[in-house]
């Protein structure tokens, strides 16, 4: 889609031609809202987690999706629920919430689904 007319609401000046919108203007509404929260939190993923009530892997996946939409990543974003579960298991292991044996069992369950 091409923008063909710009108009000033105050002085009613109109300019016609072909104009290109910015990369951010082309983002879907949900990604634009995510970017706003991300910027509000100054890129602190923990703060984004709290603000949106989502997990760390979900924040990372949404960020990867935005980067892909903006053309800043060549590869496709990770969107798999299994991948998000792996990140959560490894985060729980790293923070000491679960043992290595529990992490291994949980990761094997995910692998069996594949």
Question: pLDDT tens digits for 10-21?
Answer: 999 999 998 888
User: What percent of the chain has a predicted confidence (pLDDT) above 90?
Assistant: 42
Query: Over the stretch 44-80, which tens digit does the pLDDT of each residue have?
Result: 999 999 999 998 888 988 998 899 888 887 655 555 5
Domain ranges of the chain: 24-79, 86-114
Comparing C-alpha atoms, which of 100, 79, 78, 80 is closest to residue 90? Answer: 100
pLDDT for res 77: 52
φ, ψ dihedrals at 5, nearest 5°: -145, 135
Mean pLDDT (the chain) is 86
Please state whether 16 falls in left (phi above 0), alpha (psi between -120 and 50) or beta. beta
Give the largest CA-CA distance in the chain. 69
């Amino acid at each position: 889609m091409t923008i063909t007319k710009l108009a000033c609401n105050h002085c009613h000046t109109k300019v016609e031609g072909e104009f290109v919108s910015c990369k951010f203007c082309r983002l879907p509404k949900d990604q634009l809202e995510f970017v706003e929260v991300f910027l509000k939190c100054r890129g602190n993923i923990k703060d984004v987690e709290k603000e949106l009530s989502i997990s760390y892997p979900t924040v990372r996946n949404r960020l990867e999706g935005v980067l892909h939409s903006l053309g800043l990543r060549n590869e496709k974003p990770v969107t798999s629920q299994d991948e998000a579960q792996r990140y959560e298991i490894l985060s729980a292991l790293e923070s000491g919430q679960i043992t290595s044996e529990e992490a291994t069992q949980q990761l094997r369950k995910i692998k069996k689904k594949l």
